[in-house]
Structure 1
Amino acid sequence: MPAAESAVSRLDCVTAATPPSNAAPSAGIRLRPEIAALPAYRQGRAAAPDGFKLSSNENPYDPLPGVAEAVAAASDFNRYPDASALALREKLAERFGRTADEVHIGAGSVALVAQLILATSGPGDEVVYSWRSFEAYPGLVTVAGATSVQVPNRADHSHDLVAMAAAVTDATRLVIVCSPNNPTGTIVAAEEFSAFLADIPEDVLVVLDEAYAEFVTEPRAVDGVPLLARHQNLVVLRTFSKAYGLAGLRVGYALGPVAVLDAARATAIPLSVTGQASAAAIASLDAEDELLERVRHIIARRDAVYAGLLEQGWDAPKPSGNFIWLPTGEHTTAAAERLFEAGLVVRAFAPEGIRVSIGEEESVEKLLQISEEIVRSLPEGHSARRIA
Structure 2
Amino acid sequence: MTSTDAARGGIAPRPVVARLPRYAAGKPPVAIEGFTSYKLSSNENPLPPIPAVLRAIAEQQDINRYPDPVSTKLRGALSDFLGVPSDDIVTGAGSLGALNQILAAFAGQNDDGKADEVIYAWRSFEAYPISVGLAGAQSIQVPVLPDGRHDLGGMAAAVGARTKVVLLCTPNNPTGPILTTKEVEDFIQSVPSDVVVVIDEAYQEFVRAEDAVDGIRLYRKYPNVIVLRTFSKAHGLAGLRVGYSVSGPDLTQHLRAAATPFAVSQIAERAAITSLENFQQVVERVQSLVDERDRVMAGLKELGWSVPDAQGNFVWLELREDSMDFAARAGERALSVRAFANEGVRVSIGEEEANTRFLQLCAEYTKTPRSS
TM-score (structure 2 length as normaliser): 0.93
1:43 aligns with 2:25: yes
SS at match of 1:383: coil
1:163 aligns with 2:154: yes
> How far is the alpha carbon of 1:262 from its aligned partner?
2.6
CA distance in 2, matches of 1:271, 1:341: 42
Match of 1:9 in 2: none
Contact 2:322 2:367 (C-alpha < 8 Å) held by counterparts: no
Contact 2:165 2:198 (C-alpha < 8 Å) held by counterparts: yes
> How far is the alpha carbon of 1:26 from its aligned partner?
4.7
Contact 2:143 2:151 (C-alpha < 8 Å) held by counterparts: yes
Show structure 1 runs of 4+ deviating over 6 A.
Answer: none
Match of 2:198 in 1: 207
Structure 1 unaligned regions, length at least 5: 1-24
CA distance in 2, matches of 1:377, 1:85: 49
Match of 2:112 in 1: none
> How far is the alpha carbon of 1:166 from its aligned partner?
0.8
Percent sequence identity is 47
Q: Which digits, 9 at most, give the CA deviation of each residue in 1:190-245, with x for residues without a partner?
A: 11111001011111100000000000001111111111121000001111000010
1:82 aligns with 2:68: yes
> How far is the alpha carbon of 1:129 from its aligned partner?
0.3
Structure 2 unaligned regions, length at least 5: 1-6, 110-114
> How far is the alpha carbon of 1:157 from its aligned partner?
0.7
1:227 aligns with 2:214: no
CA distance in 1, matches of 2:254, 2:321: 42
CA distance in 2, matches of 1:287, 1:83: 25
Supply the AA of the counterpart residue of 1:36.
A
SS at match of 2:226: strand
Contact 1:328 1:353 (C-alpha < 8 Å) held by counterparts: yes
CA distance in 2, matches of 1:94, 1:65: 22
SS at match of 2:28: coil
1:259 aligns with 2:250: yes
Supply the AA of the counterpart residue of 2:129.
P
Name which of 302, 320, 337 aligns with 1:329.
320
Match of 2:15 in 1: 33
Aligned length: 357
CA distance in 2, matches of 1:368, 1:149: 36
> How far is the alpha carbon of 1:354 from its aligned partner?
0.6
Q: Which digits, 9 at most, give the CA deviation of each residue in 1:239-277, with x for residues without a partner?
A: 100001000001011111123223222222211110000
SS at match of 2:356: helix
Contact 1:328 1:384 (C-alpha < 8 Å) held by counterparts: no
Match of 2:101 in 1: 115
Q: Which digits, 9 at most, give the CA deviation of each residue in 1:59-87, with x for residues without a partner?
A: 11122221011112221010000111000
1:245 aligns with 2:245: no
Match of 2:367 in 1: 377
SS at match of 1:270: coil
CA distance in 2, matches of 1:45, 1:26: 30
Q: Which digits, 9 at most, give the CA deviation of each residue in 1:152-210, with x for residues without a partner?
A: 10111100111111110010000000000000011101111110010111111000000
CA distance in 2, matches of 1:26, 1:361: 50
Contact 1:326 1:384 (C-alpha < 8 Å) held by counterparts: no
Contact 2:101 2:260 (C-alpha < 8 Å) held by counterparts: no
Match of 1:191 in 2: 182
Q: Which digits, 9 at most, give the CA deviation of each residue in 1:325-380, with x for residues without a partner?
A: 01101111111111111111011111111110000011122100111222x234xx
Match of 1:59 in 2: 45
Match of 1:358 in 2: 349
Contact 1:117 1:141 (C-alpha < 8 Å) held by counterparts: yes
1:314 aligns with 2:313: no
Match of 2:272 in 1: 281
SS at match of 1:339: helix
